[in-house]
Structure formats: C-alpha cells, structure tokens
Amino acid sequence: MITAALYFAFACFGLGLLICMWRLLVGPDSADRILALDTMVINVIALLVLYGILEGTAMYFEAALLVAMVGFVSTVAYCRFVLRGDIIE
Amino acid sequence: MATVSEVLIAIFIVFGGVFGLVGSYGLLKLRETMQRLHGPTKATTLGIGCVLIASMLFFFLIKGNLSIHELLITLFLFLTAPITANFIAKTFIIRNLSKDTLPESRSDYGWSVYDDPPTLTEE
C-alpha cells in the first residue's frame, strides 16, 4: 500500500517538474524563471525524501538537506545578480 | 495486510503528492507573475510537510527508530521561503515596474529596490 502511494506521489512530483520546466522555458520574465527553478528544487527535495522511504534508508535526508541549502543559495544569488548586477558586493 | 500505520503513512504520502502537484500547477494556471508567487508556497509548506511527516512516521512505526532530522528540512524550508519570495518579488519590481508607479514609502527613505540603504552618519 505504501509502495502504491509512493508511485502515485512520484508521478505527481514528476509532473510538477515537467510543469516547472515548461514555465522555465516559456516564462516571460526572469522572475518567472527564478520561481520555476525554486519550485523545481522543492519538487526534487520531495522526490529524494520519497525515494528514501522506498529504499528504506535514512541516507537520502542528507542529500535532501544539501539540495535545499544549495537551492536557496542559488535562488538568492540569481536574484541578487538580476537586482544589483553583482552577487557579492 | 494493511495495518493502520501503513494506511496513515500512505494517506500522508498521497496528500503530499497532490499538494506538490497543485503547487506546480499554479505556475501553469495563474496569469500574472506576482500571482504565480502564490502557487509554490503550497508545494513548500503542505507538500513537503506531508511528505516529511510521512517519512518520520515510516521510520518510527515501520522501522522502529525515531528520526528527528526531517524536521531540519522543514525548519530550513520555512525559514528560507519568505526570503526567496521577497527576492523574487523585488526582481519582478525592478524589471517591470517604474519608480513612478509605486506609492510613497511613507518614511524618510525610498524603496529598497531603487535606493541605496541609509548609511550611518557620524555626528
């Protein structure tokens, strides 16, 4: 039962990744593209945690935490670059 | 053989998946960029939250060891989500709105998007 629910959630988050990819390609403004990248990071975190449940190991939480941190830093860096033309002043 | 704990974990996983899909579908459905900022917040809070609760319940009820470090991911995402949204809104403002269309900032200084931060002057 858990396995079926896991596959359903995999399909949901994969479809969400595809939608984010479409918004990343189409998005009329760079704010849309940054938002799509941020949402992709969130979907990837969820996929990593779900894969950890499927495999039954706790090893993927460290990976999920690292992806969360790198995603936040990259989003802020991209916004800083658009806002100020420089990341670290 | 579906025990109560398995049903509970499966419900949380399905809820997380549905809310994650809703959050991403908001990017597709909403029309304006500022409206699209609302969509992924559902994926962040409810989607990831349900998935992490399901993970904690799985490792506690099925595997038998209590693990707290899922809460770290939740805490980190809850801390960083407002900062990210603020930065994306600022990016949209500086690229698409002019300084004249914004209202007055009702303080001694202008909007932080356009003006430099106030510096400390030595008296």
End-to-end CA distance of chain B: give it in Å, rounded: 77
Give the pLDDT score at B18. Answer: 92
Q: What is the pLDDT of residues A55-66, one digit of tens each?
A: 888 888 889 999
CB within 8 Å: A50 and B51? yes
Question: Chain B within 8 Å of A8 (Cβ-Cβ)?
Answer: yes
Locate A43 and state its tokens: 């979907």
Question: pLDDT band at residue A86, thresholds of 50, 70 and 90?
Answer: confident
Q: How far is CA B119 from CA A87, B112, B116, in A?
A: 20, 13, 9
Q: Token pair 């980190």 is at which residue?
A: B76
| Interface ipTM | 0.85
End-to-end CA distance of chain A: give it in Å, rounded: 53
Q: Which fold has domain A2-84?
A: Helix Hairpins (1.10.287)
Q: How far apart are the CA of B74 and the nearest CA of chain A, in angstroms?
A: 9
Q: How far apart are the CA of B3 and the nearest CA of chain A, in angstroms?
A: 10
pTM of the model: 0.86
Say yes or no to pLDDT of B27 above 90: no
List the single range of A82-86, B58-62, B85-89 with lowest mean pLDDT: A82-86
Q: How far apart are the CA of A82 and the nearest CA of chain B, in angstroms?
A: 7
Q: Which residues of A touch B54 (CB under 8 A)?
A: 53
Q: What is the pLDDT of residues A21-69, one digit of tens each?
A: 999 998 788 889 999 999 999 999 999 999 999 988 888 888 999 999 9
Nearest CB to A68 within list B20, B43, B76: B76
List the single range of A11-15, A70-74, B112-116 with lowest mean pLDDT: B112-116
Work out the average pLDDT over B15-41. 87
